[in-house]
Amino acid sequence: MNCWRWLKQRTENLQASDGRRVFTMDRLHHRSAWVLTAALCSACAGTAVAPPIDRSATPTVMGDDGLATTRQARKAIDEVARQAPHPAGFEELLTVTGSLSDTPLYTDSRADLLIDGPATYAAMHEAISQATRYVYLETYIFADDEVGQKFAVALMEKVAAGVAVRIIYDSIGSFGSSEDFFERMTEAGVKLIEYHSLNPIDGGNPLDANHRDHRKLLVVDGVVAFTGGVNFSNTYASSAPSQPTQVDLKEGWRDTHVAIYGPAVAGFQKTFQHQWRAQGGELADVPDDRTEPQAAGDALVAILSSAGGDGVESSIYRGYLEAMQVARERIWITQAYFAPDEEFLEQLQQAARRGVDVRVLVPGFSDSNLVLHASRSRYGQLLKSGVKIYENTTSMLHAKTAVIDGVWSTVGSSNLDYRSFLHNDEVNAVIFSAPFGEQMEAQFLKDIKHASEVSLQDWKKRPVTDRIREFFSWTVEYWL
């Protein structure tokens, strides 16, 4: 994601979808435009490219019997690859995904799809109620409201029963929660870390404001792990309506989470532990994890995590690109904040041109109008290449998922924008499974029944004011 290339594309090639040039940098004579450009490139400076990927090496594979031999690993990969319409390309994708992950590929695992907050919270409370050794929780928003307080009580009760509870919450994401809310948990024995506090009095650093922990991760006793887009807030307390309703940004958000069982849980546990230690936390007093990996299903699971601001290309971003390159039949994306860079967009367009059914479901309204217009600024080029775009109109869409060729699926915290790819800590589960992919596709088809398809003809007729908003969104989208 080269900054100079991005600026050049956004300033020299930006056109209205009917072909007329709207603005160019030559017309922006104001000094402020150049100041902003310089600041933008300064922010981009030092962004490194990920090291080369070894596409021939067999990735490390773990199953219920432990570390797989090279022969066992090849067999597990071949079994999944055969489910894809392009087995050879998909086998290479599995190898690449393994090299992108900080953990092995995990076989014999199961993924349960959880739609919206109520289903997610119910499954989480059930898992927490059965905890006997530890609960690891990492979240962007831990709200001091009915939902957050209910989880806080459940976690404090577990500490009283001798369970170790560790929580990482983001300082900005949880800014609205009172200090008393977290102090009550601390006094009850819950150990918490406030990620990148901005308060210098408490040792925080305001310069860390742009680097956030956007992950949503819950691991219980090495038995189950949860990840996806759902935070701990009343916003998610009710399910999204299935019929058009009055827009309400405070409730009924449409989101997706996933519960993982089997050997893959160990990978999510390792991901949390690494983050906890990186923030100065100790785990010496956490009971040893004696959970033996148990086969729970036939899915192969990879865990892609990224650390914002580390100067390394996001593994989640690269994972998407690699998967789109091998797609032969379908790329269906559901995305809350869709404002990726030109390389990502080009992969979508190339796939559509070679006959792949490319569909993108995005919000029709948003809690961030800047992101909404940044997203819409991509519509013209995508529609021209044959990509189908749908805008959700029944509720606030917050899911971050994709399914490719019915075999490769991802559910996680990462949006498809500069913030998630460059600035935030994120985590996504990648599930290689035809049965799970079938569930993902069924949910996507259900979602677009209540969405409006955007046609190129109608898009060309949009108001000039919208075109102006879309253009100027690029000046700030790097930080959105």
Q: Which entry of 191, 196, 211, 216 is annotated as an active-site residue?
A: 216
Type of residue numbered 274: H
**Alpha-carbon distance values, 114 to 52, 124, 260 (Å):** 35, 11, 11
- Write the single-letter amino acid at 244: P
Question: Does the active-site annotation cover 270?
Answer: no
357 catalytic per annotation: no
Active site residue 211: no
Spot the catalytic one: 398, 417, 425, 447. 398
CA 223/CA 239 separation, integer angstroms:
27
Asked about 405 being catalytic, the answer comes back as yes
Known catalytic residue at 202: no
CA 354/CA 263 separation, integer angstroms? 37
State the catalytic residue, choosing from 116, 170, 213, 221: 221
- Find the catalytic residue in 170, 341, 405, 425: 405
214 catalytic per annotation? yes
> Of the residues 191, 211, 373, 400, which is catalytic?
400
Catalytic residue among 196, 211, 214, 423: 214
**447's tokens:** 């979602």
- State residue 19 phi and psi, 5-degree precision: 100, -15
Give the residue numbers marked as catalytic. 214, 216, 221, 398, 400, 405
